[in-house]
Amino acid sequence: MIDPMPVIDAHAHCGILDRSWPQSLEAYAQQAAETDIGGVALFSPVMEIYDRYDARFVDTPAWRLRRKESNAYLLSLKPVELTVYPYFFIWNDFAVEQLSPAHCGIKWHRHAGEPVYCYDDPGCRLALDEIRRRQLPVILEEEFDHTVRFIRELAEGITVIVPHLGMLNGGFRSIAEAGLWAQENVWADTALASPDEVREYLRGYGHRRLMFGSDFPFGDPCSELRKMLSLHLDPAVEAAVLGGNFLRLQACVNPI
Ligand SMILES: [Zn+2]
């Protein structure tokens, strides 16, 4: 008998430097143990990468070190009960030289009012070239205008995952109206998205580029998974969204 495919959570935050939330691996594993989740993509917490509460934040050696430690921590996690897929959280030092063969993707994150990414820095283009070469997916949480620019101008040949079905990238509908969901290289995750938007996405764009995610610790893996199961999707569609698509995306990554 073939084991059923494990569920993979494509979106969770994990770290031990930022103590504002219980977001250690142990905290995650405890919640996931009550579910069929067998794998998880982990990103560093934002507050381990830059000061999100200071729009004029200036990078320092101390923050660069904190970022490096935070990203390295995820690489060190090898729990027996879960497969960890570490993502590298990139910031304005565009430190792609820290990428290792174990990295499974790139986390690119910013909200309105937070310090901006230097998209016009030559280092940004060079980083994107390296990301493209490695075929690493980029999970992009950004304001709407930056999201559009990133996908249309910067990310050609790179898979971009828009989290939360666009909730924090200008909204599901704005992304739809800009024609982005229809693009082959634009994927999405279901973290904290409404069941109606999940259904609408599946009707409009099919099930091949949608992945289950929880947004732990802001979302609860159990209830996020329950939300997906309660949609009673066709079994093949459900299997794809709950893990198959994630593995298909990972299979494209060129580790060296
Ligand atoms: Zn998140």
Predicted pLDDT at 2: 53
Separation of alpha carbons 54 and 4, rounded Å: 46
For tokens 């200008």, the residue is 170
- Compute, in angstroms, the gap from residue 42 CA to the centroid of ligand 1: 10
Tokens at residue 159, please? 């898979």
Strands 186-189, 7-13: pairing is unpaired
- Compute, in angstroms, the gap from residue 170 CA to the centroid of ligand 1: 15
Strands 138-141, 105-109: pairing is parallel
Segment 133-139 mean pLDDT = 98
- Compute, in angstroms, the gap from residue 213 CA to the centroid of ligand 1: 9
Predicted pLDDT at 211: 98
Q: Would you list the DSSP string of 131-182? A: HHHHT--EEEE--HHHHHHIIIII-TTS-EEEGGGGTTTT-HHHHHHTT-TT
Q: How confident is the model at residue 20 (pLDDT cuts 50, 70, 90)?
A: confident
Q: Is the pLDDT of residue 86 over 90?
A: yes
pLDDT in tens, 160-175: 999 999 999 999 999 9
Q: How far is CA 196 from CA 174, 200, 204, in A?
A: 16, 6, 12
- Contact status, residue 160 vs residue 134, Cβ threshold 8 Å: no
- Compute, in angstroms, the gap from residue 256 CA to the centroid of ligand 1: 27
- Compute, in angstroms, the gap from residue 75 CA to the centroid of ligand 1: 18
Buried b (16+ CB within 10 A) or exposed e, 92-124: bbbbbeebeeebbbbbbbbeeebbebeeeeeeb
Separation of alpha carbons 42 and 158, rounded Å: 20
Amino acid at 240: A
61 C-beta neighbours (distance < 10 Å), count? 7
* Bond before 217 cis per omega within 30 degrees: yes
The DSSP code for 120 is T
The distance of Cα 39 from the centroid of its chain, to the nearest Å, equals 14
Q: Is the pLDDT of residue 4 over 90?
A: no
- Compute, in angstroms, the gap from residue 22 CA to the centroid of ligand 1: 14
- Compute, in angstroms, the gap from residue 12 CA to the centroid of ligand 1: 6
- Compute, in angstroms, the gap from residue 107 CA to the centroid of ligand 1: 9
Query: Which of 166, 171, 117 has the alpha carbon at shortest distance from 139?
Result: 166
- Compute, in angstroms, the gap from residue 108 CA to the centroid of ligand 1: 10
Predicted pLDDT at 121: 97
Predicted pLDDT at 122: 97
Tell if the pTM clears 0.75, that is, is over it.
yes
- Compute, in angstroms, the gap from residue 2 CA to the centroid of ligand 1: 33
